[in-house]
Amino acid sequence: MKKTLRVVVVDDSPLMRKLLTSIINAEPDMEVVGAAPDPLAARELIRTLSPDAITLDIEMPRMNGLDFLDKLMRLKPTPVIMISTLTGAGSDTALRAMELGAVDCVAKPRDLQRGLREAGEEIIEKLRMAAGARLSLRQPRAASPSVAKPLPVIAGVSSNIMHTRLIAIGASTGGTQALQTVLLGLPAEMPPIVVVQHMPPAFTQPFANRLNGICALTIKEAEHGERLRPGHVYIAPGDYHLALEREAGHLCCRLLATERVNRHRPAVDVLFHSIAQLSAKRTVGVILTGMGADGAQGMLAMKQAGAYNLAQDEDSCVVFGMPKEAVRTGAVDEVLPLDAIAAGILRQLRE
C-alpha cells in the first residue's frame, strides 16, 4: 500500500523523534518524511517536502513552538498536532496553540518509552484527522481581545424566553475557536446555554475562563447539581459527561463519570439525549466542527422530541465529521456558516 499521509516531526528530543517516527511509520498509510530538532531546521524541511501534517513540540531551542506555529499559519498553513508536556499541565499554552491554528493537542507523557506508545493510537487518529482539516491563511497577530461590550437585547426576545428556553451546543476539533465565534455573537441576556466541547480535564476550566473574559455572557465550567440560569454558559468539565435533570421544576447539571460514549467523556450524545427526555421542545440544538459522529443520534432524538437544530456548514468547519453525520441522520433543520450561527439562534428565540 502506498504511503499517502506524509508527516514531518519537530521535537528537540532525539528519543521523541525516534519514537514518533516508529509509531507513525508502523501505519500502512503514513510515513515520516522528515524530522527536525528545532523550528529553524523544520522550516526548510516543510518548504521542501510540503508535508500533509506536522507534529510540533512547544519548548525548543532557537525558536519557541508557538512562535513558529504563528509564522507557519500566516505563511504556509499546514495541519499541526502539538505534542508537548505543556499541552497537559500548561493548558493555557495548548489553548493558545489552538487559537494560533493547531488542529489539536496531545500531552507528551513523562515516561516517553512507555507512555508515548500508549498514546500512539490517539496521535495516529489525530494525524489522520488533521491531514483532512480545512485551514486558511492566518492574519498577522492581533492584540489580545478585550472584554466584550454587552450586546443589545435583540428585539422580539421577551424576558420570559430567558427562563423557558435552552441552547445546547456540541463541538470537537476546531471547536474552541468556533465556540468563541458563536458566543461572542450573543448578548448577555440569553436563555441558559449548555456546551460539550471534547477536551481533556485540565483544559475546560481555563477555556471557560478565557471565554468569560471576552464574552458578554457569564461562562463557567459546569458543577454537579447547579441550577441553570439565564445569561450563563455551562461547559462540561473534561472527563465528565454533562447531562441535565429536572429538580423542583428547574433544570440542573448532572456530572457523570460513567463509561465513555463514542470514545469521549464528555460526550455530546449524553447531553443531547438527556435534553430530549426533558425539554427538547424549548431547545435550540447546535452542532459545530468536529471529528467523528458524536452528537448525531442525540440531536436526532432532540429533533424528534421537538427541538430546532442548527449545524455548521462544511466550508467553515475545520473538520466536517460531526455536523455531516447529524445532517445525514436527518437531525438538522438548518445548515449555516459559522458566522451566521449566533444570528440563527437568536432568530429561533424570536420565533
Q: Residue 239, SS3?
A: coil
- What's the pTM value of the predicted model, to 2 decimals? 0.88
Catalytic hit among 11, 198, 232, 273: 198
Q: Is 198 a catalytic site residue?
A: yes
Supply 168's cell numbers. 445546547
Q: Residue 74, SS3?
A: helix
Q: What pLDDT was estimated at residue 144?
A: 44
Residue 3 CB contacts under 8 Å (≥ 6 apart), including other chains: 28, 29, 30, 31
Q: What pLDDT was estimated at residue 116?
A: 74
Catalytic hit among 84, 91, 172, 316: 172
Q: What pLDDT was estimated at residue 147?
A: 47
Q: pLDDT tens per residue, the chain (351 residues)? A: 567 899 999 999 999 999 999 999 999 999 999 999 999 999 999 999 999 999 999 888 888 889 999 999 998 899 999 988 766 556 788 888 888 999 988 887 777 777 777 788 889 999 998 888 888 655 544 444 444 444 544 545 566 777 789 999 999 999 999 999 999 999 999 999 999 999 888 889 999 999 999 999 999 999 999 999 999 999 999 999 999 999 988 999 999 999 999 989 999 999 999 999 997 889 999 999 999 999 999 999 999 999 999 999 999 999 999 999 999 999 999 999 999 999 999 999 987
Question: Dihedral, CA atoms, 220, 193, 309, 343, nearest 10 degrees?
Answer: -100
Catalytic hit among 70, 104, 269, 294: 294
Give the DSSP H/E element, type plus range, for residue 6: strand 5-10
Q: Is 91 a catalytic site residue?
A: no
Q: Is 29 a catalytic site residue?
A: no
- Distance set, CA 246 to CA 11, 48, 169, 242, 285 (Å): 50, 59, 19, 14, 18
Q: What pLDDT was estimated at residue 108?
A: 78
Give per-residue pLDDT as tens, 292-342.
999 999 999 999 999 999 999 999 999 999 999 999 999 999 999 999 999
Report the side by side order of strands in the sheet with 166-171.
218-221, 232-235, 193-197, 166-171, 283-287, 308-312, 334-336
CB of 135 within 8 A of CB of 101?
yes
**Which residues, in sequence order, are bridge partners of residue 219?**
233
Backbone φ and ψ for 276, nearest 5 degrees, come out as -60, -30
Which is nearest to 171 in space by CA: 253, 121, 235? 235
Supply 242's cell numbers. 454533562
User: Integer distance in angstroms from the first to the last C-alpha of the chain?
Assistant: 54
Q: How far apart are CA 268 and CA 295, in angstroms?
A: 5
CB of 253 within 8 A of CB of 234?
yes
Supply 129's cell numbers. 484527522
Q: How far apart are CA 287 and CA 292, in angstroms?
A: 12
